[in-house]
Amino acid sequence: MTNTITRRTAILGSAGALLLSGLVRSFADTPKTLKLAIILESRTDVGWSSTLLDSLEHLKQEKPEGLEISWEYTDPLWGDDAENAMRFYAESGEYNIIWCHGRYSDQVKKLNAEFPDLMFVVTGSGNLPVGANQYWIYKRLHEPSYLLGMLAGHTTKSGMVGVVGTFAADDVNDQINAFFDGAKSIRPDIQHRLSFIGSWSDNALAAEHANVQIAAGADVVFMLTDNFKPCQEHKIMCFANINDQNKVAPDAIASSALINWQPDVKWIIAEWLKHKAGGQFSGNAEPRWFSMAEGGTDIAPYYDFDGKIPQAVKDEIAAKRQDIMSGKFVVPLDTAEVK
Q: Are residues 128 and 265 in the same domain?
A: yes
pLDDT in tens, 67-96: 999 999 999 999 999 999 999 999 999 999
What pLDDT was estimated at residue 236? 96
Q: Are residues 114 and 23 in the same domain?
A: no
pLDDT in tens, 226-242: 899 999 999 999 999 99
Q: Are residues 52 and 157 in the same domain?
A: no
Residue 24 has pLDDT above 90, yes or no: no
* pLDDT level of residue 297 (50, 70, 90 thresholds): very high
What pLDDT was estimated at residue 25? 39
Report the chain's mean pLDDT, rounded to a whole number: 92
SS3 171: helix
Whether residue 65 contacts residue 273, with contact meaning beta carbons closer than 8 Å, is answered with yes
Q: Are residues 317 and 196 in the same domain?
A: yes
Q: What distance in Å separates the CA atoms of residue 294 and residue 307, rounded to the nearest whole number?
A: 29
Partners of 119 in the β-ladder: 97
Asked whether residue 290 is domain-assigned, the answer is: no
Residue 1 has pLDDT above 60, yes or no: no
Q: Are residues 35 and 95 in the same domain?
A: yes
CA angle 195, 229, 257 (to 5 degrees): 65
CA angle 19, 20, 21 (to 5 degrees): 95
What pLDDT was estimated at residue 226? 87
Residue 129 has pLDDT above 80, yes or no: yes
DSSP-derived letter for residue 96 is S
Give the H/E segment covering residue 266: helix 262-276
Q: Are residues 317 and 227 in the same domain?
A: yes
Count how many domains the chain has. Answer: 3
Mean pLDDT of the 42-56 span: 95
* pLDDT level of residue 18 (50, 70, 90 thresholds): very low
Give the H/E segment covering residue 195: strand 191-196
Q: Are residues 39 and 130 in the same domain?
A: yes
Mean pLDDT of the 291-308 span: 97
Range of the domain at 19: 1-27
Give the H/E segment covering residue 68: strand 68-73
Q: What distance in Å separates the CA atoms of residue 212 and residue 8, rounded to the nearest whole number?
A: 80
What pLDDT was estimated at residue 324? 98
Residue, of 327 and 4, whose pLDDT is higher: 327
pLDDT in tens, 149-203: 999 999 999 999 999 999 999 999 999 999 999 999 999 999 999 999 998 878 8
pTM over 0.85: yes
SS3 259: strand
High-pLDDT (> 90) share of the chain, %? 88
What pLDDT was estimated at residue 12? 41
Q: Are residues 252 and 321 in the same domain?
A: yes
Burial class (CB in 10 A: 0-12, 13-18, 19+), 292: buried
What pLDDT was estimated at residue 16? 47
- Alpha helices by DSSP H, listed for 102-195, are 105-108, 142-155, 170-186
High-pLDDT (> 70) share of the chain, %? 91
Provide the CATH number for the domain around residue 217: 3.40.50.2300
Whether residue 103 contacts residue 84, with contact meaning beta carbons closer than 8 Å, is answered with no
Partners of 70 in the β-ladder: 35
- Find, among 125, 142, 136, 124, the residue nearest to 298 by Cα: 142
